[in-house]
Structure 1
Amino acid sequence: MKFDKVRWGIIGCGDVTEVKSGPAFQKINHSELVAVMRRTGDLARDYAKRHNVPKWYDNADELINDPEVDAVYIATPPGSHKEYTIKAAKAGKPVYVEKPMARNFEECQEMIAACAEAEVPLYVAYYRRAQQRFLKIKELLENGAVGEVRFVSSQQYQKPSDDVLDPQHLPWRVQPELAGGGLLFDLASHTLDILDFLLGPITSVQGFASNQAGYYRAEDIVTGTYRFESGINGVGNWCFTAFEDVDVNEIVGSKGKITFSTFGNDPIVLTTARGTEQWSFEPPEHVHQPLVETIVADLTTGSSQCPSSGFSGARTNWVMGELVKNYYL
């Protein structure tokens, strides 16, 4: 599948598409955003007008079947990812789907199968895989900066946001029927996916999930241990009702360690017997853009540059499912 220019359509032109992703489709060479869809037509029309997009829809099927749309970016909550991915695949169109890829591993498998049958590529919006900040960490690891990697630890905890304190108007991110679980699926998915990118697949998982604060039905704390295919061990703790915000990952090896955050912009720190070194990177204006550039390169040149596929996205869903499965039994 090869295009001279990739003409994109967005299903779900909500907040994430305003700055993080949407404008990138217009700024990349050989890429164009030609249509957007939102169930509330007035909002879709407003988005199209503000972003100079020629077409808007209030029906996803119409966008998917528009002959002038070559590829579909699905930016809805996870509860509809499978449905729209399968429809786009049946229409013969490549899919770029938001993270988490779906509500569970089984839905991911159905999406992969549908795209394979239709012979269309499936990409997942774990955009950190293409950002310079995380490529630098990968370079350090591959160059043996910490020696042989022994283990990784992740600590992420934060104060509860105001929107989860109103039980009558809970965001989709803490509604398991829409998100697959709680904030672990929305936030920790980024950390687990970038660890997959840096250290390889996780193949064994044990987790404990519970709800301590009672603000919503989904789990609000998860503690897990895991083992990578390479033999590296890992441990993570995610709490979304703590007293402060903390975001720190450490990759520890036989000769040093790398410390970095998933969401922050603080420097990457390498600590060895020789002392410390630091690297700082400014985040891209549109955080999806480096990853979308690799997708457009794939679709216009036939290359395989994109580092975030349906297969890698499904692995992250599997890990999260294993971490919380005791809670949803």
Structure 2
Amino acid sequence: MPPPAPGEVRIRVKALGLNRAEALMRAGTYIESPALPSGLGLEAAGIVDAVGAGVEDVAPGDAVSIVPPVSMARWPAYGELINVPAALVVRHPPSLGWEAAAALWMAYLTAYGALIDIARLGKGDFVVVTAASSSVGLAAIQLAKLVGAIPIAVTRTSAKRQALLAQGAAHVVATAEEDLGARLAAIAGAQGVRVVLDAVGGPIFEPLAAAMSRGGILIEYGGLSSEPTPFPLFAALSKSLTLRGYLVHEILADPARLAAATAFIRQGLAAGALRPVVARTFAFDEIVEAHRYLESNQQFGKIVVTV
């Protein structure tokens, strides 16, 4: 293991947070194409083992977690010891254990960037969150509730309805059992849905757009559906909608926006309004099984691997 370079921190990893991005990169379908052999991983929590020249904000022995790097090929998190830029290292709130700390930053930074930084979600706004039982979906529901918005959780079946309501969803719509457009119209009424946070795409795109209010914004951050995604032309024209692609890299690459995001999230954690949800924990030598579980879509919240 090389020593940390100037501006780097070496961390003895205690826990890893798994993300779908890692499965996509492993399969060769991610936005980043690594040169093989390559590492994987975007999230970790652990103890500072050593610091490189010029690092002053953390010291050996500090408990820290990492903000996801822009490139996991360059800064992979899967490992017992990892070197990462000091700018990515955060002292997480002491109330969090290793598993929760490893489940924190990707989900909450993604949700914050979309809902707070871009959409300016506020009190009384209806917001639709698809893939609601994912770690990002649950973070989005909690953030929406924190700012006084009305989160509508969209999921495939009603199996997770009660769990989503317990996490703060005001309404739950099961797309395999209900008409999405009709339910959203009944819930939001004449006011309409001002913000949609969608990770799915595909056929639900049109009923989502149809339920939106004039001047609403639909933020697309994924593409889980294997079916074509139609462009909702007439809804976009008649309602002056904004349809926007989004990656968390927008926040990660902007120091001022990242600082605002981490401060907001830390305040929410301290107040007890935000709390990472861990679906299941695996041991490090069960990483294959952990990835298989990730790809099964059975989880409610974050999958964590302990090292």
TM-score normalised to structure 2 length: 0.39
Structure with the bigger RCO (C-alpha within 8 Å, sep 6+) is 1
Q: TM-score, normalised by structure 1?
A: 0.37
